[in-house]
């Protein structure tokens, strides 16, 4: 018994309990919002979705405790094992277990009782891999070999994910993690300028590889003549934007949103749950969510800034980058200023 108490005390010392509490609060609100968003008749019983969310929260706490107790230096020494693990996990997408769940992207592994998105697990391991690689090159972080080594890991993960699943949204998050960690790790700004220049030069070529529907997802942000009636590319975004703005300042009330409770919104419990919250809790509810999400991100950055160890600091920056850009893209998608690329709202969806 005393051994377990000692381990609990050790976890209490090593882990950031304030960050854990923030995450639990947001996850708790997420359970309530999912209960409301899935109470429409088309979902049947919403108990299944609530149980999954609660179980995922519990699993997250267990992972938090596990990661807090594992020696990061040990993981760093075995980063190639994690690279192999990532590749093996993504390769399972082309096995009979791989499925797209109607999204068009083969991004899920169906285990029968639950479906798992490998890329979500790879986000965690990729942050550790990147921190390990950058730590190994700390004294020459802006040298060509160092930057190429970092880009190699990014290219492997993004390339494999795109080829096997076709999920551009998740691949974009890996890129943003890379950018956030490279910036926080002190990589020269000249590399960022060079990257921007190369992307700008290659953009016209890359654009030609996109299908018309994919191109229109970007163009509708700037061109009102594309699907002005909202019956094709704009349909889902228009419906969800109307729902988001229909709540006004304080909303129509939890479990009382007209579109949410009729089940007329697309992905109202996943990608567009922010619109459901806007309809039922209004601007104030959306603002509360944004404040809570930003508090978690700010805490990650704060912890990173106070880490004496370079690698641990980068892990904090990587986690903050993943959360920050996913929140920005998801909420931007809901309010119509970002293309629809299918990313969920962290700890809420």
Q: Is residue 259 part of a domain?
A: no
pLDDT tens digits, one per residue of 253-273: 888 888 888 888 888 888 889
Q: What are phi and psi of 143, to 5 degrees?
A: -70, 160
Q: Could you say which DSSP state residue 126 is in? A: H
Q: Is residue 264 part of a domain?
A: no
Contact partners, residue 168, CB within 8 Å, separation at least 6: 162, 341
Beta-bridge partners for 109? 98, 116
**Number of domains the chain contains:** 1
Q: What gap in Å lies between CA 83 and CA 7, rounded to an integer?
A: 29
Structure tokens at 103: 């999204």
Contact 234, 227 (CB under 8 A): yes
To the nearest 10°, report the CA torsion of 198, 201, 206, 208: 180
Q: Is residue 53 part of a domain?
A: no
Question: For a pLDDT cut of 90, what percent of the chain falls above it?
Answer: 41
With 0.75 as the threshold, say if the pTM is over it. yes
Contact 283, 245 (CB under 8 A): no
Q: Is residue 104 part of a domain?
A: yes
pLDDT tens digits, one per residue of 195-228: 999 989 988 888 887 777 777 777 887 777 777 7
3-state SS, residue 190: helix
Q: Is residue 44 part of a domain?
A: no
Structure tokens at 297: 């991100």
Q: Is residue 168 part of a domain?
A: yes
Contact partners, residue 161, CB within 8 Å, separation at least 6: 90, 119, 122, 167, 170, 171, 174
Q: Is residue 67 part of a domain?
A: no
Q: Is residue 15 part of a domain?
A: no
Q: What's the confidence (pLDDT) of residue 10?
A: 64
Expressed as residue numbers, the domain containing 144 is 72-209
Q: What's the confidence (pLDDT) of residue 3?
A: 61
């Amino acid at each position: 018994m005393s051994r377990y108490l000692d381990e609990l005390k050790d976890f209490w010392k090593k882990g950031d309990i304030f960050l854990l509490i923030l995450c639990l609060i947001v996850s708790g609100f997420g359970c309530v919002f999912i209960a409301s968003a899935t109470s429409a008749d088309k979902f049947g019983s919403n108990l299944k979705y609530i149980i999954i969310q609660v179980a995922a929260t519990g699993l997250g706490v267990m992972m938090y405790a596990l990661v807090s107790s594992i020696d990061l230096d040990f993981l760093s020494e075995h980063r190639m094992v994690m690279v192999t693990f990532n590749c093996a996990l993504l390769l399972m997408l082309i096995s009979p277990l791989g499925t797209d769940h109607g999204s068009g992207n083969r991004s899920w592994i169906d285990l029968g009782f639950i479906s798992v998105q490998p890329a979500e697990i790879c986000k965690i391991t990729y942050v550790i891999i990147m921190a390990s690689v950058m730590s190994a090159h700390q004294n020459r972080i802006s040298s060509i070999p160092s930057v190429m080594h970092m880009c190699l890991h990014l290219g492997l993960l993004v390339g494999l994910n795109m080829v096997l699943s076709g999920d551009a949204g998740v691949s974009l998050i890996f890129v943003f993690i890379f950018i956030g960690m490279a910036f926080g790790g002190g990589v020269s700004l000249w590399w960022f300028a060079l990257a921007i220049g190369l992307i700008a030069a290659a953009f016209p070529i890359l654009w030609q590889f996109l299908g018309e529907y994919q191109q229109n997802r970007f163009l509708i942000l700037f061109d009102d003549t594309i699907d002005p009636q909202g019956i094709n590319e704009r349909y889902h975004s228009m419906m969800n934007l109307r729902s988001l703005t229909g709540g006004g300042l304080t909303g129509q009330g939890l479990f009382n949103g007209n579109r949410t409770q009729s089940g007329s919104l697309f992905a109202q419990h996943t990608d567009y749950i922010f619109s459901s919250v806007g309809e039922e809790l209004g601007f104030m509810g959306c603002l509360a969510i944004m404040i809570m999400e930003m508090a978690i991100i700010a805490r990650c950055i704060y912890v990173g800034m106070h880490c004496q160890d370079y690698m641990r600091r980068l892990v904090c920056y990587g986690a903050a980058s993943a959360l920050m850009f996913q929140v920005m893209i998801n909420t931007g998608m809901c309010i119509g200023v970002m293309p629809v690329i299918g990313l969920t709202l962290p700890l809420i969806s």
